[in-house]
């Protein structure tokens, strides 16, 4: 698991909105440029971005290990065919390159995750998405971050209690149903207390946000994001 | 520092209540991401996330369930570790399993629309069983349809290969989840005012 780590790297000093733009640009470019030269450029960019956030590529790959199963199975599945010639190397190779590009997208996002505080991302969401939806999403992200460990502990308590009562020997649908219903009822009890607390503290549509500002460092990041997005548009839209 | 002199505009009581529930349901979706129940004769264990997508639609209605799912996706995108394997980041939404994640708001809203027939939330126990089953099956089809289609697009697989990797292994688990969701609805413990 890779989460925010306080540091003073280049990526840490960037505005969260520029990091968001760079990730979007990179994802769009990685999913549209399929040539070998593009893959080299994208790999170099990804390594550069990991270095800018102080993440070692190996740690980033370990963080993405859950995705690796399907990413490594997909080329095999694409290569296998029912009937002669049984193995189509070209199809397998195309999918292997596609898997590799997806892995690069995952690595770049770990760089952003490691270098961005959730508090700053929340402010970025609230400033980027206008009006009430942005406000609710911003506060929602903050609440989700706060309640995630609490609800994880709730779920663990429920599972321990089930295990103590030989719950592991019950049918899968009963186990799933019990965890779901008890988890939901505990979460909603918490939600009802939370909503009372929010109302008691004058939960408003127009609170004061933490300050965010673009600095000179953000200019190259935004330029990179624009270049990547433009390169995608030029490839996808026939001129 | 400049002073903001606008009046405080309070959020209405009903909206605060629904918002708090939607936010905690999104957190719950992240909290159950590591839970896996093994299933005999199936390579894929049951994960509970899709069950909570069902419950979101059933208990929050179309609007707030979709909001809750969007919140889950945004929180994951900005770095809260809520995706499978404690992962986070915008890259996951564009990665090989992004299609499943993008489908959650639509699937939850679809169930909400089928079961509640509008934005007013009613007790799902009073809805006829065929309607609930149709809603759950339609939502599952939507999730796996979008998931496999996106996977085939992104990994350059053909449709059959994408379905083999992205949908077939999960069918037994999905049947179990639909059964669990129906049992929860029939138990009558999912009323809009209180879940017991």
Q: Which of A144, A184, A65 is nearest to B73 (CA)?
A: A144
Q: How far apart are CA B104 and CA A27, in angstroms?
A: 21
The residue written with tokens 């909290």 in the block is: B31
How high is the mean pLDDT of chain A?
Answer: 87
CB pairs under 8 A between A and B: 255
Q: Structure tokens of A162?
A: 């089930």
Chain A hits for B35, CB-CB cut-off 8 Å, are 155, 159, 179
Determine the pLDDT at residue B105: 97
Residues paired with residue B165 on neighbouring β-strands, in sequence order: none
Model confidence over A50-87: pLDDT tens digits?
A: 999 999 999 989 888 878 888 888 888 888 877 777 88
Q: In the predicted model, is pLDDT for residue A228 greater than 80?
A: yes
HSE of B33, CA atoms in CB hemisphere, 13 A = 22
- Name the pLDDT band for A3 (thresholds 50, 70, 90): confident
- C-alpha distance across the termini of chain A, in Å: 43
Helix axes A65-79, B159-166, angle to 10 degrees: 140
The residue written with tokens 């460092």 in the block is: A217
Determine the pLDDT at residue B64: 94
Residues A118-127 as b/e (b if ≥16 CB within 10 A, e otherwise) read bebbbbbbbe
In a domain, B5, yes or no: no
Interface check B186 vs A, CB under 8 A: no
Q: 3-class SS at A8?
A: coil
Phi-psi group of B54: left, alpha or beta (phi > 0 → left; psi -120 to 50 → alpha; rest → beta): alpha
Determine the pLDDT at residue B137: 96
In a domain, B3, yes or no: no
Determine the pLDDT at residue B86: 79
Domains in chain B, number: 1
Question: What percent of chain A is modeled with pLDDT above 90?
Answer: 30
In this complex, which of B13, B37, B165 lies closest to A74 when CB atoms are compared?
B165
> What CATH number is associated with residue B101?
1.10.1760.20
In a domain, B112, yes or no: yes
Model confidence over B136-183: pLDDT tens digits?
A: 999 999 999 999 999 999 888 888 888 888 888 888 889 999 999 999
Model confidence over A174-189: pLDDT tens digits?
A: 888 899 999 999 999 9
Q: Structure tokens of A195?
A: 């909503």
In a domain, B7, yes or no: no
Q: What is the DSSP letter of B44?
A: S
The domain ranges of chain A are 10-116+213-236, 122-200
DSSP B132-185: HHHHHHHHHHHHHHHHHHHHHHHTT--HHHHHHHHTGGGHHHHHHHHHHHHHHH
Window A:173-232, CB contacts with B under 8 Å: 173-177, 179-181, 183-185, 187-188, 190-192, 194-195, 198-199, 202-206, 208
Model confidence over B85-141: pLDDT tens digits?
A: 778 888 889 988 899 999 999 999 999 999 988 778 888 888 889 999 999 999 999
- Name the pLDDT band for B43 (thresholds 50, 70, 90): low
How large is the ipTM? 0.86
Q: In the predicted model, is pLDDT for residue A224 greater than 60?
A: yes
In a domain, B174, yes or no: yes
In a domain, B80, yes or no: yes
A149: distance to nearest CA of chain B, Å?
A: 7
In a domain, B8, yes or no: no
Determine the pLDDT at residue A144: 92
Q: Angle at the Cα of B77 (from A63 to A36), degrees rounded to 5?
A: 65
A84: distance to nearest CA of chain B, Å?
A: 17
Q: Write out the residue range of the structural domain in which residue B92 sits.
A: 13-186
In a domain, B173, yes or no: yes
Contact B23 A152 (CB under 8 A): no
Q: 3-class SS at A81?
A: coil
């Amino acid at each position: 698991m890779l989460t925010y780590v306080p540091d003073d790297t280049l990526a840490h000093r960037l505005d969260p909105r520029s990091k968001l733009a760079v990730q979007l640009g990179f994802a769009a470019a990685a999913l549209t440029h399929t040539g070998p030269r593009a893959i080299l450029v994208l790999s170099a960019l990804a390594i550069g971005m990991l270095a800018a956030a102080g993440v070692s590529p190996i740690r980033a790959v370990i963080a993405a290990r859950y995705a690796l199963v399907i990413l490594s199975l997909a080329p095999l599945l694409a290569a296998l065919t029912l009937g002669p010639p049984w193995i189509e190397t070209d199809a397998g190779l195309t999918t292997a390159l596609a898997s590799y590009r997806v892995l690069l997208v995952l690595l770049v996002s770990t760089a952003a995750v490691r270098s961005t505080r959730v508090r700053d991302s929340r402010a970025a969401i609230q400033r980027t998405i206008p009006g009430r939806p942005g406000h609710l999403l911003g506060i929602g992200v903050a609440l989700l971050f706060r309640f995630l460990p609490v609800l994880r502990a709730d779920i663990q308590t429920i599972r321990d209690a089930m295990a103590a009562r030989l719950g592991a020997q019950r049918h899968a649908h009963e186990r799933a149903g019990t965890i779901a219903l008890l988890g939901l009822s505990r979460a909603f009890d918490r939600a009802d207390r939370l909503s009372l607390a929010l109302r008691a503290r004058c939960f408003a549509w127009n609170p004061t946000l933490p300050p965010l500002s673009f600095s000179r460092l953000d200019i190259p990041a935004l330029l990179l994001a624009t270049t990547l997005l433009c390169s995608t548009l030029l490839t996808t839209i026939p001129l | 520092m400049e002073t903001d002199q606008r009046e405080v505009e309070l959020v209405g009581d009903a909206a605060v209540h629904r918002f708090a529930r939607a936010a905690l349901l999104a957190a719950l979706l992240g909290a159950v991401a590591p839970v896996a129940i093994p299933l005999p004769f199936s390579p894929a264990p049951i994960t509970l996330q899709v069950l909570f997508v069902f419950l979101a639609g059933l208990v929050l209605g179309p609007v707030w369930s979709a909001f809750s799912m969007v919140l889950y996706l945004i929180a994951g995108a900005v770095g809260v570790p809520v995706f499978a394997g404690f992962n986070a980041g915008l890259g996951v939404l564009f990665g090989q399993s992004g299609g499943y994640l993008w489908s959650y708001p639509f699937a939850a809203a679809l169930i909400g629309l089928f079961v509640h027939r509008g934005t007013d939330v009613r007790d799902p126990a009073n809805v006829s069983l065929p309607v609930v089953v149709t809603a759950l099956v339609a939502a599952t089809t939507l999730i796996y349809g979008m998931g496999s289609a996106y996977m085939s697009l992104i990994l350059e697989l053909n449709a059959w290969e994408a379905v083999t990797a992205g949908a077939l292994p999960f069918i037994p688990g999905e049947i179990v989840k639909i059964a669990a969701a129906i049992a929860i609805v029939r138990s009558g413990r999912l009323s809009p005012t209180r879940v017991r």
